[in-house]
Amino acid sequence: MSDDESNIPSPNTVAMPSLPPHFDHGWQAWQAVVGRLAQGDSPDARIRLEAGGRPDGTVWAVEAIWSGHIERMAEFKTLGAAFLALSDELSAHHWEFNDALTGLSLYDEDDWLDPETADSLGRLVDTIMAAFGTGWALAFTYQPVEMADQRVQGRLVARAGSVAVAGRGRTLLGAVRDVLRSAAPHFTSHKRG
């Protein structure tokens, strides 16, 4: 048999579906899921993460939005736990996600963000807690839009709306840094009370 003939599949060869790509961090995997939905029949597809200040610390929520659907998981102590709950919810109730979500449950609670983004987001949340205590909300939304610098939108609201700042970036890290820059003047003018 020649080398050319060994590359020809036999009639008994069974085609296997390709595995979804594995990403280093869960946020990247969610961006791919949302991108796939947006390329299909849901150009409104987006993923949102939120943090809020409570007397017992920060609580996290995540939501997926597509084709008029909203699935939200809220009141989690870690961002990773919220993402895992959302992945489980979508796998259980939205069969159209099953192939896209393959592997999302394999991420540990601390594998949802790359270290630099996790550190920056953690520092932002700590700074917000130190400045405002409770009663604040922070949200970041990823939507795969054509203008790359607007793909991640961030917003901080505190002090019953008297503090409201926004930021954006190509990446979550960029949006976190932009919100931090926008909010910096408010951190010194509002002391936790």
14 domain residue, yes or no? no
The alpha carbon dihedral of 180, 184, 190, 193 has a sign of: positive
121 domain residue, yes or no? yes
64: β partners: 47, 71
Contacts 24+ apart (CB under 8 A), 77-80: 78/109, 78/110, 79/49, 79/51, 79/112, 79/113, 79/121, 80/26, 80/107, 80/108, 80/109, 80/110, 80/111, 80/112
What domain range includes position 95?
26-35+44-189
Q: Tokens standing for 180?
A: 């931090």
What is the total count of domains within the chain?
Answer: 1
Amino acid at 172: L
> Between 38 and 48, whose confidence is greater?
48
Give per-residue pLDDT as tens, 153-183.
Answer: 999 999 988 999 999 999 999 999 999 999 9
184 domain residue, yes or no? yes
Give per-residue pLDDT as tens, 108-134.
Answer: 888 899 999 999 999 999 999 999 999
Instruction: Provide the whole-model pTM.
Output: 0.84
Instruction: Tell me which DSSP letter residue 24 carries.
Output: S
5 domain residue, yes or no? no
